[in-house]
Structure 1
Amino acid sequence: MKNICLMLMLVFAAFSVNAQVLQTYIDTAFKNNIVLQQKNVSLEKAQYALKAAKGLFLPSVAFQAGYQTADGGRNIPLPLGDLLNPIYSTLNQITGANNFPRMENQTINFLPKNFHDAKVRTTVPIINTDIINNKRISEQQLTLKEFEVQIYKRDLVKEVKTAYYNYLSALAAVDVYKSGLQLVNEGLRVNQKLLENGKGLPAYVLRSQSEVESVRATLIDAEQKVNNARLYFNFLLNRNADDAIIVEKDDKNDLAKVQGLLATLDISGQREELKALNQVVSINKTVRKMNGQFAVPRLGAFLDLGTQSEGFKFNSNTRYYMLGLQLEIPIFSGNRNSNRIKESNLDLKNAELNANLVAQQLSLSAKTAQNNLRSAYQTYQSSQKQFEAASTYLRLIERGYLAGANSFVETIDARNQYTSAQILVNINLYKVLMAMANIERETASYTLN
């Protein structure tokens, strides 16, 4: 009876895990998990993309410079001498002086020679619907990235809790097998004493030794499962694989929440998956609006402050400014714009259909999770009753064996039933806790920081 009470304490004490310890591990996973860090990097990139989209509304200032020199090519003949020299000769004769000298004909080359143009150009958009819509799309994409981070956080919470419960289940199994090893060792000792007193059989001793080795091998396998569970848990938290896992217990019992979860199921659309899909619909609406505004004119202004000259001169004659407006009105583009509008309409329709489909799937998965929790809880309650029956059966068979009323084979069967019932209680209870973690994920009821 003492052993039974001890085993009950070992099995049930681990079930009331301190929520604060588990929450600390979840916070550690939020901080260290590599995949979550990648999600945060994508979120940060989206933030910078939004800043870049907002920057398109501001003036753009750039320094531009060019240098050109050439020789040959086409020339422009200017017959200045042929035109002006007769007039100048007549004027000189009339005035009796030589105030009007002769001029030579000139030739002007088309290509610039040793010419530079340096300026500071400032441009600013005045009317441009693409910039406005791109800013809106960047804002929506940023919100979408935020939802993706929250979605993975919820998945990570579920994985951490499941891995933690697997670890506790493996630990409890080790305790059960250690207790079972004590039982079979005690059975071996009893059979050895009976054989020494002439009341036992050598076959019973050999069978007891076989049972001891079988339980010891099972215990080694259970300890290896503990190591594997610890490795995966530390992997989720991005910790050293050999780091110890703290197990603390209090008087609270998570099983008290089961009845409430089975009574009500909140699927009110709080899942980030639905919000993300609705955001995708909004993005497609913005894209359709942007494509539909192709005929809106675009107006921009520019201001040039610079200098132009040949021979790198810089003075009041070379400096200049130029102020202007640029207007663009689309007229015809081969029906590309109308085709883009049709394409964006189809994208929007597909996004809406996908959102409706996923909403139905999430509702189905939430109800399925509730049914799985109900089944796991009922199975756990049944295993408790089975464990109580196996405990009573073992106690009666051991007493009967010592009194000679039951066979040794019956004691072995009773011990196996007792150990199996203990393991079954342990497995089924942690299945309930895992099912609770799953329904918490399906209903998005965990509060994210």
Structure 2
Amino acid sequence: MLRRLSLAIAIAAASAGPAWAEEAPLSAKTDLVTVYQEAVANNADLAAARANYEASREVVPQARAGLLPNLSAGASMNDTRTELDSPSASFSRSGTVYQANLTQPIFRADRWFQLQAAEATSEQAALEFSATQQNLILQSAEAYFAVLRAQDNLAATKAEEAAFKRQLDQANERFDVGLSDKTDVLEAQAGYDSARANRLIAQRQVEDAFQALVTLTNRDHGSLEGIVHTLPVLAPTPNDATAWVDTAAKQNLNLLASNYAVDAAEETLRQRKAGHAPTLDAVASYQKGDNDAMGFTNSLGSSTRISGDVEQRTIGLQLNIPIYSGGLTSSQVRESYQRLTQSEQQRESLRRQVVQNTRDLHRAVNTDVEQVQARRQTIISSQSALEATEIGYQVGTRNIVDVLDAQRQLYSSVRDYNNARYDYILNNLRLKQAAGTLSPADLEDLARFLKSDYDPDKDFLPPDLAKAAEASLRNSQDY
């Protein structure tokens, strides 16, 4: 009876793997939305971005303060003696003086433009913070699906290891009864050793992916809900790259932030130019002194003492016309002009990059749609090719190397299929981020296709392909 090796055998063997591969209890599984919520609550980068945004908002009241009244008060205690040579006389005064000063800017063009620049800077900071929040959505999805990708890769690698182990056992059996030589055993042993090494690497990649999730959320996760194979794999809507580019030009958060960066640079240039303009302030002051010890001595030696309070009020306008400041203002104007040019060129570079990324991601999603279908068909073809090769090996028309190569091709096809699935999901999210439309609702839509009892060792293949593999196994046992 021919005993052909199929995916069903490998899946069954991999599912009954060692203890370290056991799944956590289903109640401990975490879904995609929960991971994102934990990232929002615990992510250090987001907290730092929020603090930076709150700090950047303060530039507006700081700039506005330059246009508002400035009131100060103070007091002084003095003991002063003044002597005159001619006529010979001296004055002495001691006491406490209280004073208050009020300044109200009337014409301060530089401070007005500074306020305008500060408001643009604040808007830029708000958009950059929103971009950070939006990026966290993508980071959460990338970290989440990196774990699922690694788990599916591990499951396929374990199934491959089981298949090679089965092939090694068959090679030993054939060698024992004289149906093959030692070379077949050695080839099968080498294939099994390589598969085992790959499984160890895949296991480490799963642990690394979980650790990246901990870094993002500051929480440990026992296991995650997996994505079902019935997730619709559709072209982007609308399936028009130009429409996506137009949306990105209007809504990409980083691009919008760069517009405000240019506005801030323009207002800063105006502020520097206004350094040549005159300034006008309304000023008022009030002084009251305690002159309880004031003396006057004349040239004849007679002295007179005066006591009492002195009160003084002043109100007026103060005009300042800058004439020359050592070239400082002109230098600041030249610097601001170059800063404006810099921000404009940075915005143009970002605009081109956004256009490129949007078009590239639009093509990537369309390619992923075709890739998923093609890789799925490749699994079926590789499975058929493996079964045909095993039959050929049994009847002597193929050698052990052909069988091992067919097995490698089969499991490579399985990994390529799962990679194409996850690439499709993430590229869809990246396309929406480039267009500025990515939101938590996109994660909620994906969460509807998560499976709480997902078992990578059993579910890394589509159910219909797994059933086909089982059917193939039953048919092979009839020989």
TM-score (norm 1): 0.77
Structure 2 residue aligned with 1:99: none
Structure 1 residue aligned with 2:58: 48
- Counterparts in 2 of 1:344 and 1:186: CA distance versus 1, 3 Å: closer
- Say whether 1:362 aligns with 2:344: no
Instruction: Tell me the distance in 1 between the aligned counterparts of 2:253 and 2:410.
Output: 46
Query: What's the secondary structure of 2:318's corresponding residue?
Result: strand
Q: How do 1:346-361 and structure 2 match up within 5 A?
A: 346-361=338-353
Give 1:347 shift.
4.1
- Counterparts in 2 of 1:160 and 1:278: CA distance versus 1, 3 Å: same
Q: 2:202 aligns with which of 222, 245, 253?
A: 222
- Counterparts in 2 of 1:331 and 1:200: CA distance versus 1, 3 Å: closer
Q: What percent identity do the matched residue pairs reach?
A: 15
- Say whether 1:107 aligns with 2:85: no
Structure 2 residue aligned with 1:14: none
- Counterparts in 2 of 1:396 and 1:430: CA distance versus 1, 3 Å: same
Query: What's the secondary structure of 1:50's corresponding residue?
Result: helix
TM-score (norm 2): 0.73
- Counterparts in 2 of 1:198 and 1:352: CA distance versus 1, 3 Å: closer
AA partner of residue 45 (structure 2): V
Query: What's the secondary structure of 1:69's corresponding residue?
Result: strand
- Counterparts in 2 of 1:211 and 1:343: CA distance versus 1, 3 Å: closer
1:371-407 per-position Cα deviation (integer Å, ceiling 9, x unaligned): 3444444444443333221110112222343455543
Return the index of the structure with the highest Cα Rg.
1
Does the 8 Å CA contact 2:368/2:420 hold for their aligned counterparts? yes
- Say whether 1:415 aligns with 2:407: yes
Moved more, 228-237 or 370-379: 370-379
Q: 1:75 aligns with which of 78, 84, 94?
A: 84
Q: 1:299 aligns with which of 281, 298, 307?
A: 281
Structure 1 residue aligned with 2:136: 156
Instruction: Tell me the distance in 1 between the aligned counterparts of 2:66 and 2:223.
Output: 51
Gaps of 5+ in 1: 11-19, 79-105
Structure 2 residue aligned with 1:266: 244
- Counterparts in 2 of 1:345 and 1:186: CA distance versus 1, 3 Å: closer
Instruction: Tell me the distance in 2 between the aligned counterparts of 1:55 and 1:366.
Output: 43
- Counterparts in 2 of 1:359 and 1:210: CA distance versus 1, 3 Å: closer
Structure 2 residue aligned with 1:95: none
Does the 8 Å CA contact 1:120/1:306 hold for their aligned counterparts? no
Give 1:318 shift.
0.9
- Say whether 1:393 aligns with 2:355: no
- Counterparts in 2 of 1:373 and 1:310: CA distance versus 1, 3 Å: same
When the two chains are superposed, the root-mean-square deviation of aligned CA atoms in Å is 3.5
Instruction: Tell me the distance in 2 between the aligned counterparts of 1:276 and 1:180.
Output: 50
Does the 8 Å CA contact 2:236/2:428 hold for their aligned counterparts? no
Instruction: Tell me the distance in 1 between the aligned counterparts of 2:330 and 2:167.
Output: 87
AA partner of residue 53 (structure 1): A
Instruction: Tell me the distance in 2 between the aligned counterparts of 1:260 and 1:316.
Output: 90
- Counterparts in 2 of 1:346 and 1:413: CA distance versus 1, 3 Å: closer
Instruction: Tell me the distance in 1 between the aligned counterparts of 2:433 and 2:277.
Output: 47
Q: How do 1:244-393 and structure 2 match up within 5 A?
A: 244-250=222-228, 253=231, 255-256=233-234, 258-260=235-237, 262-264=239-241, 265-268=243-246, 269=249, 270-293=251-274, 294-311=276-293, 317-330=308-321, 332-333=323-324, 337=329, 340-341=332-333, 344-393=336-385
Gaps of 5+ in 2: 15-29, 295-305, 442-479
Give 1:225 shift.
1.2
Does the 8 Å CA contact 1:127/1:300 hold for their aligned counterparts? no
Query: What's the secondary structure of 1:255's corresponding residue?
Result: coil
Instruction: Tell me the distance in 2 between the aligned counterparts of 1:227 and 1:349.
Output: 47
- Say whether 1:435 aligns with 2:427: yes
Instruction: Tell me the distance in 2 between the aligned counterparts of 1:215 and 1:391.
Output: 18
- Counterparts in 2 of 1:216 and 1:306: CA distance versus 1, 3 Å: same
Instruction: Tell me the distance in 2 between the aligned counterparts of 1:135 and 1:448.
Output: 35
Q: Which is richer in strand?
A: 2
- Counterparts in 2 of 1:306 and 1:59: CA distance versus 1, 3 Å: farther
1:136-160 per-position Cα deviation (integer Å, ceiling 9, x unaligned): 2222111111122123333333333
Structure 1 residue aligned with 2:23: none
Give 1:34 shift.
1.8
- Counterparts in 2 of 1:252 and 1:124: CA distance versus 1, 3 Å: farther
AA partner of residue 309 (structure 1): N
Moved more, 383-392 or 168-177: 383-392
Structure 1 residue aligned with 2:466: none
Count of residue correspondences: 405
Instruction: Tell me the distance in 2 between the aligned counterparts of 1:417 and 1:439.
Output: 32
Structure 2 residue aligned with 1:103: none
- Say whether 1:426 aligns with 2:429: no
Give 1:316 shift.
10
AA partner of residue 30 (structure 1): V
Structure 2 residue aligned with 1:212: 192
Instruction: Tell me the distance in 2 between the aligned counterparts of 1:234 and 1:396.
Output: 45
Does the 8 Å CA contact 1:140/1:279 hold for their aligned counterparts? yes
Query: What's the secondary structure of 1:304's corresponding residue?
Result: strand
AA partner of residue 378 (structure 2): Q
Query: What's the secondary structure of 2:226's corresponding residue?
Result: coil
- Say whether 1:146 aligns with 2:129: no
Give 1:322 shift.
1.1
Structure 1 residue aligned with 2:452: none
AA partner of residue 108 (structure 1): S
Structure 1 residue aligned with 2:454: none
